[in-house]
Amino acid sequence: MPHRCGLIHVRGPLPVAKITAAEVSEHQKMCEERLSPLLSPSETLSEEEAARLGKKDPEQEVEKFLSANAQELSKDKWLCPLSGKKFKAPEFVRKHILNKHAEKVAAVRQEVILSTERPTQPCPCQPAPSCVLPDPLPGGVQSVLHLHCHHGVFI
């Protein structure tokens, strides 16, 4: 299994000043602010709002796909453009597409489902703020730490 930090990982020098309780509580409050939208129950939009945002019915979109891929060449001659095969009636083209090109029908259905689910669920994501150390490290270099709170332990 590959290492996240590479084969050799060295942490920087420890801060000269001790970490105060105020800094710990401030960092803990910041972690709680970032995690609270993720842990709160998500709200879903109503059907009217979802329809206004462009919600589509997967079965209707599959029907549009099937009708778009059944081209009439002449009277009693229909073509499936996916394979180039000719048929006598549109229902035979439909049956052919559902049997022989099921993966394309499934892809259309999946695309509609994914594009429909996105607007109905609000995104709780927020950019994670960075913590800048107040004291410069030896050599006058400011360090930027991305601290993560994991069950009360700061990593």
Two structure tokens written together for 131: 């913590």
Tell me the pLDDT tens digit for each residue of 11-67: 788 778 888 899 999 999 999 998 887 787 767 777 788 778 778 888 999 999 999
Report if pTM > 0.95: no
> How far is C-alpha 95 from the geometric centre of its chain's CA atoms?
34
Q: Which helix (H) or strand (E) holds 78?
A: strand 77-80
The Cα-based distances of 112 to 50, 57, 62, 101 in angstroms read: 13, 7, 9, 17
Cβ atoms within 10 Å, residue 27: 17
Q: How many helices (H) and strands (E) does the chain have?
A: 5, 7
Tell me the pLDDT tens digit for each residue of 22-38: 999 999 999 999 888 77
